[in-house]
Amino acid sequence: MPAGVRPELFKRATAALDRHSMHVDTHDRIAIADFSLPSSQPRFFLVNMGTGEVEPLLVAHGIGSDPGHTGVLQRFSNQINSEATCEGAFLTADYYVGKHGDSQRLIGLDPTNNNALARAIVVHSAWYANPDMVSKHGKLGRSQGCFAVGERQLAKVFDRLGPGRMIYATKV
């Protein structure tokens, strides 16, 4: 069991990896987003499946998932224009440069996130996901449903995940 990842969540993530194994090219590393934790805590876990090594990072959730800006995800949505985070297994796809700079497209593999590509739910960095937001405000800012990580963390996320790997996001 990887350190820092709750066992029930890891079980669900590995079950999703098995379920989607024909779509996910590379199984050596995955990312798990534990949205039961508040945004003030590292809850985006980069997991090396071979060694069990875990790198925990901060990650923002969507405005539509936390309309009161409590710092805690209240609900998921797969609806277009919801600005909410969606849950399930995602396949990391190609890189591009968008309004948030370097970004990585995600393909939703489950009925709960199959609009991810159409909604432009991606991995990108943002100033509002930097650690200083937690020290100043006690929580991160919110994305429009994307997995936004700190500006200094994006290269590490891209390096560890790359295209063809899985991100699993839920709240248990």
Residue 129 and residue 57 in contact, taking contact as beta carbons nearer than 8 Å: no
Question: Residue 32 — φ and ψ, nearest 5°?
Answer: -125, 125
83 and 118 in contact (C-beta within 8 Å)? no
Q: Percent of the chain having pLDDT more than 70? A: 100
Assess contact for 80 and 118: CB atoms under 8 A: yes
Tokens of 64: 């539509």
Amino acid at 76: F
Considering Cα of 139, then 149, then 109, then 63, what sign does the dihedral take?
A: positive
Q: What percent of the chain has pLDDT over 90?
A: 98
**pTM for the complete prediction?**
0.97
**What confidence tens digit (pLDDT) does each residue in 74-119 have?**
999 999 999 999 999 999 999 999 999 999 999 999 999 999 999 9
Residue 1: band (very low, low, confident or very high) from pLDDT cuts 50, 70, 90? confident
Burial category of 172 from C-beta neighbours within 10 Å (exposed 0-12, middle 13-18, buried 19 and up): exposed
- Contact by Cβ (8 Å): 72, 38: yes
**Nearest C-alpha neighbor of 131 from the set 33, 38, 41, 13:** 41
Q: Provide DSSP, 29-63.
A: EEEEEETTS-TTS--EEEEETTT--EEEE----BG
Please name the amino acid found at residue 40.
S
What pLDDT, on a 0 to 100 scale, did the predictor assign at position 95?
A: 97
